[in-house]
Amino acid sequence: MISKLILVDLLPEGTKELTLDAMLVIDGDKVSVGTPTVKGVVVTAKVIDDLVKGEKIRVIRYKSKKRVHKENGHRQKYSRVEIASIK
């Protein structure tokens, strides 16, 4: 199996491994959709980077003809996770 790197919302500090429930499993032509999870399937993941900063987003509030504007910035924080196995 090829390991996959994904970004997830920032995890609590000190998290090294995760075990997650699967919501959808695609195995060739066979598709299993869970309600809400697929029974008997567990996904294990390993934390590669604790903190990864996302792209900066600029938010501008503006009122025309009033000379009023306000500019804010936001940068989302993520954790990089590698999917180790799906059993």
* Residue span of the structural domain in which 80 resides: 4-86
Confidence of residue 3 (pLDDT cuts 50, 70, 90): confident
Confidence of residue 53 (pLDDT cuts 50, 70, 90): very high
Overall number of domains in the chain: 1
Question: What does the block give as tokens for 84?
Answer: 């180790």
* Gyration radius of the chain over CA positions: 20
Q: Which residues pair with 21 in a beta bridge?
A: 42
Confidence of residue 18 (pLDDT cuts 50, 70, 90): very high
